[in-house]
Structure 1
Amino acid sequence: MLNRLRKDIKVVFERDPAAKSVVEVLLCYPGLHAIWLHRIAHWLFNRGWVLVPRMINYFNRILTGVDIHPGATIGEGLFIDHATGVVIGETCIIGDNVTLYQGVTLGGTGKEKGKRHPTIGNNVVVASGAKVLGSFKVGDNSKIGAGSVVLREVPPNSTVVGIPGKIVWHDGKKVNRYEDADAIDLEHDDLPDPMAEMMLCMQRNIARLEGRVAQLEKELKNRELKGV
């Protein structure tokens, strides 16, 4: 238990440059408090308790702004940055060394029974406001861009952005889904927007068509002048 607590604190220092001291982390990091309270609730939930784990879950949400169902399975090294608004569903499974930013939802899409929440692989980063909805897996070492809505499985080593989520980077290579979609380079802090890329492609095509129409009109006018 002490080793787990030490590792949780170490994770904060590794991923948050704002952390200055152990005392600060212990007292002022709601994401850390949310994980610790969840572990207590999860331990009780797995032993057949229902009401008490749910009460801990409710208290956790009030205290930290994080709603983690007691049934959710969380691996080691989870870091919840800023914490506020994070929701993790009952059948969600989170691997090791995962990072979640504020406003992330790992939820379901309906009232189906059984496994209805996502499985998040190891070393995954889910950026602010992203929603991962449904019973599928997000592969290891993947990134979900801010504000994205992911509704289908993500292979390992991928980057997903947009609504609905589109894979724009996979196994170290950019995935071009649109003609001339080379205007934006994918960087960790500059995730491209597939819809914006599509709009740029449409604008370029319209500009080419307008140029062609203008050229044809000019040729037609010259022919009319020669005919006169």
Structure 2
Amino acid sequence: MFRSLASDIETILENDPAARNKLEVVFTYSGLHAIWSHRIAHALFKRRWYTLARVISQTSRFFTGIEIHPGATIGEKLFIDHGMGVVIGETCEIGDNVVIYQGVTLGGTGKERGKRHPTIGNNVVIASGAKVLGSFKVGDNVNIGANSVVLREVPSNSTVVGIPGRVIKRNGTRVGDRLDHTQLPDPVIEMLRAMQKEVSELRIELEQERERRKEPVAGGETR
């Protein structure tokens, strides 16, 4: 248990350049508090002490702003950065070495029963405001861009952006250890730029046609 607690602290020190020392991490990081509370709640949940587990979960939500259902399964070295507004559903499964930023939802899409939340692989980064909704798998080494809405399975070694989420890179060369989600290409913006280019080309063609119609013909008349 103590080895696991120490690992949680080291994970924050490795991922957050703002973390200065272990004491600061222990007392001021809400993501760490939420994970520790979840471990207690999850242990109770597995023993079918459902109500007590939910009480601990909701108490943690009140103090941290992070809601993790006690039924969710979380791997090692999860880092929740800032974390306000993070929601993790009951049947969600999270692998090892995952980074989640504020405002992320790992949820369902309706009132279906059974497995209804996503399974997140290892070494996944989910950027601010992203929503991953439904019972499907997000593979290993995946980067999900800020405010993306992911509604279907994502293959390993991919980068996903947009609404709905689209895979824009797969098995490509990664830059650095972590995703710089402020520099992700946006397929919607790229589509708008392409449309703007087409409109500009049509305007040029229209002007050329107008000029052609003004050209003089035999008898001194214009067309």
Q: Give TM-score, length-normalised by structure 1.
A: 0.91
Matches of 2:129 and 2:216, distance apart in 1: 59
Matches of 2:33 and 2:96, distance apart in 1: 18
Aligned partner letter, 1:61: R
1:163 Cα shift? 1.0
Matches of 1:128 and 1:168, distance apart in 2: 18
Matches of 1:95 and 1:188, distance apart in 2: 20
Change (3 A) 1:224 1:217: farther
How many residue pairs get aligned? The number is 217
Whether contact under 8 Å (2:127, 2:181) holds in the other structure is no
The answer to whether 1:93 aligns with 2:93 is: yes
Change (3 A) 1:218 1:226: farther
Q: Residue 222 of structure 1 is aligned with which of 212, 215, 218?
A: 215
Aligned partner letter, 2:146: A
Aligned to 2:113: 113
Deviation readout 1:109-135 (Å, 9 max, x if unpaired):
000000000011100000011110000
Aligned to 2:139: 139
Change (3 A) 1:226 1:220: farther
Matches within 5 A, 1:10-89: 10-89=10-89
Aligned to 1:181: none
1:56 Cα shift? 0.4
Matches of 1:42 and 1:10, distance apart in 2: 22
Matches of 1:151 and 1:224, distance apart in 2: 61
Change (3 A) 1:81 1:164: same
Deviation readout 1:166-212 (Å, 9 max, x if unpaired):
111111079xxxxxxxxxxx965311111111100000011111111
What SS does structure 2 have at the residue aligned with 1:160?
A: strand
Which ranges in structure 1 are unaligned for 5 or more consecutive residues? Answer: 175-185
The answer to whether 1:197 aligns with 2:190 is: yes
Which ranges in structure 2 are unaligned for 5 or more consecutive residues? Answer: none
Matches of 1:66 and 1:28, distance apart in 2: 14
Aligned partner letter, 1:109: T
Determine what percentage of the aligned residue pairs are the same residue. Answer: 61
Segments ≥4 residues shifted beyond 2 Å = 186-189, 223-228
1:75 Cα shift? 0.2
Change (3 A) 1:220 1:40: same
What SS does structure 2 have at the residue aligned with 1:222?
A: coil
Matches of 1:173 and 1:63, distance apart in 2: 40
Deviation readout 1:19-41 (Å, 9 max, x if unpaired):
00111000000100100000011
What SS does structure 1 have at the residue aligned with 2:122?
A: coil
Aligned to 1:149: 149
Q: Give TM-score, length-normalised by structure 2.
A: 0.93
Matches of 1:21 and 1:187, distance apart in 2: 24
Matches of 1:225 and 1:25, distance apart in 2: 87
Matches of 2:204 and 2:139, distance apart in 1: 45
User: Which range moved further: 155-164 or 188-197?
Assistant: 188-197
Matches of 1:67 and 1:203, distance apart in 2: 42
Matches of 1:90 and 1:209, distance apart in 2: 53
Q: Residue 210 of structure 1 is aligned with which of 164, 182, 203?
A: 203
